Amino acid sequence: MKHNLFALIVLLLLLVGLPAAIFAYRTARDTADGLRVIEIQAQAPEAGGFIPDRLELTAGETVKLRVVSPDVVHSFFIPELGVNIDEVYPGKPVEVTITPQEPGRYAFACTRWCSVDHWRMRGVIEVLPADAATQSTQSAETSKKPLFEQLGIDLDAMRHAPTALPAATPSAARGAALARRGTEPGAPASPARPPFEDVQARKRVSPADAFLELRAAPENAGLSDDQVWDLVAWAWLQDVSPETLAQAQTLYSRDCAACHGETGQGDGVAGENLPGLAKMDPAMRRGPADFTDAGQMLSAPDALLHGKILRGGMGTGMPEFGSLYTDAELWAMVSYLRTFLFTK
Amino acid sequence: MAQTSRRYAISDIPLVKRVLKSRWPQWLAVALMLGFFVLAILAGLFGTPAGNRNFGIVFVWIVWWALLMLLLVPVAGRLWCGVCPIPAPGEWLQRRTLIAPGKGGKLHTLGLKWPKRWRNIWLQNLGFLGVALFSTVILTTPLVTALVLLGFVLIALVTSVLFERRTFCRYLCPVGGFIGLYSQVAPLELRVRDPEVCVGHRDKTCYTGSDDGYGCPWLVFPGKLTSNTYCGLCTECLKTCTLDNVALYVRQPGKDLVTPQRRGVDEAFKGLIMLACAFVYSAVLLGPWGALKDAARAPFTLPWLAYAAVFLALNLIVVPGLFVLAVRAGAWLARRGGRTMAASDHKHAFVEYAAALVPLGLAAWIAFSLSFVLINFSYAWPTLSDPFGWGWNLFGATGLGWTPYLPGLTAYLQIPVMLVGLAAAVGVVLKTAHRHGCGTLAATPVVAFCSAATVGLLALFLA
């Protein structure tokens, strides 16, 4: 009896005590310095990338980030917080303590070539103001619905090709000249412009619809189709500064060109064999969008393009740029995409 | 120390006898292994999925495997089975006691008998093939390893509730099958001192059990034991024999292979399957063929189905077929030489000659194990320091990098190991041929088969 009791104690120590001790030690170790520990799984983008890829902190809060790789060597880079962990080896967690002081969005990324989709391995830390009142305003602001949702646009719905397409590349500069004239004696009347000068209104209509509306306006009866398209180009790019376009071009080269191609034709090398391509509707273009495809692009309002960039996905593994870009950057990118069909 | 011809009863050394007669040393060894087992399962379930940083993968498939194939099986035969934790929970449940034996060695089961048609190692062969087919996934994925180990425990537990004794170990365990086969090579055996004493022993407590212990859990009557294959070295018979007629002997290595035994086709196939698997493992895990590795790693995809078809064909048709051809060619040569094989029955000859595959197969697995064990053993130190890959550093070894041990020496170890295996195989073939009245010429095809297998395996190891 004594023997069995002793054996039972040994067995209980092994079967209950050992697991309990392991998890107790883990908890004690994690809470030793009183900091919140956030574990981030860093895995190849095909397997999910950073999980989670979106963190929410409060300004001034100190947290310990534990970055763990289950597959290959990654890195962990938060440029705006000066964090640069060069190597995150599989099964060797790396910890870093951060205290972001300023509210804002801090993007983090892997800078190691970890897979063919490496460039998609991104995440963002949303740092909210410490002050509760401001925080709630900020929360309300950040939780505002994007325009495509407000308009009820289905990002994945099939769209009909426009009935009219430009024969030549529409020019915003020529459109601006047309818009300015009308005061000279004997000159044609000033062409119809509203409502496309209003930025908010313009975001809701597609260039193709804008063309049809302008084409139907009696004031524009004397204009050729190409001239009407010039007016459309002008309406879309009139309020976009060269600096904004340059900034968007930099972002495009960094984040989009790998798949969509430097010239926007959807022919980037990373766009071949994207995960999910096989599942795409065969009726649809298989692969990254071609921004020089007038049929597709001119039938899409800015709100739709903004929504697509913001949400990503599309079955191709495109990142959710809404968590990586500011809203201004998203709209700048929409304008930049227009330059593949409209010249400034 | 008692001594009979060519064997020494080490259990007659007082300290060894005390250790073997007491239940505690073995029980503590099982408990210790159970602790490692629990750790391996927990690491598989909750630790990092990176295999080289997970205790479950490193300690099961590198450290344990190295100990098993390089040390335990060649030197001590089924010693692992004696301390294996997998059947322990089921056995404790059967006995309703953890250590002190129950009255009369009574077991509590539903008392079902294992079906007669499966009283062989065919299910072990199939089980091993099943595990081997998915081995690239099992060997590298901690979660799968944990689930497989848990599965083994569960099957052993259910089996011990339904059936008598260690039915799982005897008829089902995929690992026990090949350990039993290769334990015939070991220089260690548990045998009766004098079979005549057993004949005269009315109670046969070694099989029926007594207040001192349980009847042979492996369903073997020790009085008739002539091979290590089905003796699990649990030492129950040593504890229950009232006549002190059971002993643990050091003996001539491979004795079981050159003494006439009753062998079955299932055992012959076990030898062939193990040899074929050594080829497949060497090609997949050591070879430079990326497409083959990719196919083996992607279960249920089209390339994997092709791989599975080739794997099964090699194991069940090609290699056994070639061996049958070699045996038949030997019989033909014997007839041409004017001699008729005593074992004229081809099936009998096939089974008899297959004993040669035991030393050859064991050598192949030792050589194969050397190649990856020496290269990967250094993973053991950081894994011991951080078993779950959670960033711990228990012994200050977490930062130790991967360091292959003796990489330049591996080939120089593999070649002699394979040659010793081949020499032993040839010895068994010649003895078998001569035992059946055939000349050396009749043994030539089987010797050629063994030689070709050796050359093929060395090519894979060294290429």
Mean pLDDT of B36-58: 95
Within 8 A of A14 by CB-CB distance, chain B residues are 31, 34-35, 38
- Confidence band (pLDDT; 50, 70, 90) for B22? very high
- Confidence band (pLDDT; 50, 70, 90) for B262? confident
Residue pair B139/B92 in contact (Cβ under 8 Å)? The answer is: no
Q: What is the pLDDT of residues B183-212, one digit of tens each?
A: 999 999 999 999 999 999 998 999 999 999
Q: Is residue B1 over pLDDT 50? A: no
To test the contact with chain A by mutation, choose from B38, B96, B395 the residue with the greatest count of A C-beta atoms within 10 A, namely B38
Mean pLDDT highest for which of A171-180, B256-265, B331-340, B445-454? Answer: B445-454
- Which residue pairs, CB below 8 angstroms and at least 24 apart, start in A322-326? A322/A146, A323/A53, A323/A54, A323/A105, A323/A122, A323/A123, A323/A124, A324/A107, A324/A122, A324/A124, A324/A255, A325/A251, A326/A105
* pLDDT for position A163: 77
In 3D space, the residue among B112, B105, B85, B57 whose CA is nearest the CA of residue B376 turns out to be B57
Identity of the residue in A3, A19, A93 whose CB atom sits nearest the CB atom of B42? A19
Q: Which residue of B has its CA nearest to A73?
A: B50
B27 touches chain A (CB under 8 A): yes
Within 8 A of A90 by CB-CB distance, chain B residues are 48, 50, 52-53
A4 touches chain B (CB under 8 A): yes
Residue pair B275/B364 in contact (Cβ under 8 Å)? The answer is: yes
Residue with tokens 């062989």: B120
Asked if B99's CB is within 8 angstroms of A3's CB, the reply is: yes
B321 touches chain A (CB under 8 A): no
What CA–CA distance (Å, rounded) separates A162 from A224?
18
Mean pLDDT of B43-59: 95
Chain B nearest-CA distance from A32, in A, is 13
Q: Which residue of B has its CA nearest to A14?
A: B35
Neighbours of A265 (CB within 10 A): 15
* pLDDT for position A191: 62
Mean pLDDT score across all residues of chain B: 93
A26 touches chain B (CB under 8 A): yes
Mean pLDDT of B434-450: 89
Identity of the residue in A4, A68, A71 whose CB atom sits nearest the CB atom of B99? A4
Q: Is residue B74 over pLDDT 90? A: yes
The residues that bridge with B248 in the sheet, in sequence order, are B190
Mean pLDDT of B244-272: 93
Q: What is the pLDDT of residues B106-150, one digit of tens each?
A: 999 998 999 999 999 999 999 999 999 999 999 999 999 999 999
If you count residue pairs, one on A and one on B, with CB atoms under 8 Å apart, how many are there?
A: 67
Residue pair A229/A213 in contact (Cβ under 8 Å)? The answer is: no
To test the contact with chain A by mutation, choose from B36, B48, B95, B141 the residue with the greatest count of A C-beta atoms within 10 A, namely B48
Q: Which residue of A has its CA nearest to B379?
A: A91
Selected residue with higher pLDDT from B332 and B151? B151
- Confidence band (pLDDT; 50, 70, 90) for B3? very low
Asked if A10's CB is within 8 angstroms of B28's CB, the reply is: yes
Name residues 360-389 of chain B within 8 A of A (Cβ): 388-389
Identity of the residue in B31, B34, B390 whose CB atom sits nearest the CB atom of A26? B390
Identity of the residue in B28, B35, B389 whose CB atom sits nearest the CB atom of A18? B35
Neighbours of B86 (CB within 10 A): 24
Chain A nearest-CA distance from B35, in A, is 6
Q: Give the β-pairing of A54-58 and B188-192.
A: unpaired
Residue pair A79/A107 in contact (Cβ under 8 Å)? The answer is: yes
In 3D space, the residue among A6, B209, B447, B21 whose CA is nearest the CA of residue B455 turns out to be B447
Mean pLDDT of B248-271: 93
Mean pLDDT of B5-23: 93
A1 touches chain B (CB under 8 A): yes
* pLDDT for position B210: 92
* pLDDT for position A130: 83
The amino acid present at B99, given as its one-letter code, is: I
* Token representation of residue B349: 């000859």
A93 touches chain B (CB under 8 A): yes
* pLDDT for position A265: 92
Chain B nearest-CA distance from A164, in A, is 48
Q: What is the pLDDT of residues B368-385, one digit of tens each?
A: 999 989 999 999 999 999
Question: Over its length of 344 residues, how does chain A's per-residue pLDDT go in tens digits?
Answer: 788 899 999 999 999 999 999 999 999 998 888 899 999 999 998 888 899 988 999 999 999 999 999 999 999 999 889 999 999 999 999 999 999 998 888 888 898 888 877 877 888 898 999 875 455 555 555 556 788 888 888 877 777 777 788 999 999 999 888 887 754 545 555 666 655 667 888 898 999 999 998 888 888 888 899 999 999 999 899 889 999 999 999 999 988 998 899 999 988 888 776 655 655 556 656 678 899 998 889 999 999 999 989 877 666 667 778 767 888 899 999 999 999 999 88
In 3D space, the residue among B342, B332, B358 whose CA is nearest the CA of residue B433 turns out to be B342
Asked if A14's CB is within 8 angstroms of B42's CB, the reply is: no
Asked if A91's CB is within 8 angstroms of B52's CB, the reply is: yes
Q: Is residue B338 over pLDDT 90? A: no
* pLDDT for position B379: 95
Residue pair A121/A74 in contact (Cβ under 8 Å)? The answer is: yes
DSSP state of A263: T
Q: Is residue B341 over pLDDT 70? A: no
Identity of the residue in B34, B48, B100 whose CB atom sits nearest the CB atom of A4? B100
- Confidence band (pLDDT; 50, 70, 90) for B35? very high
Identity of the residue in A4, A14, A26 whose CB atom sits nearest the CB atom of B35? A14
Neighbours of B6 (CB within 10 A): 10
Within 8 A of A26 by CB-CB distance, chain B residues are 388, 390
Asked if B53's CB is within 8 angstroms of A92's CB, the reply is: yes
B150 touches chain A (CB under 8 A): no
Mean pLDDT of B277-281: 97
Q: What's the ipTM?
A: 0.85
Q: What is the pLDDT of residues B387-435, one digit of tens each?
A: 999 999 999 999 898 999 988 899 999 999 999 999 999 999 999 988 8
B31 touches chain A (CB under 8 A): yes
Identity of the residue in B53, B100, B390 whose CB atom sits nearest the CB atom of A90? B53
Q: State the pTM of this model.
A: 0.76
* pLDDT for position B441: 87
Q: Which residue of B has its CA nearest to A21?
A: B39
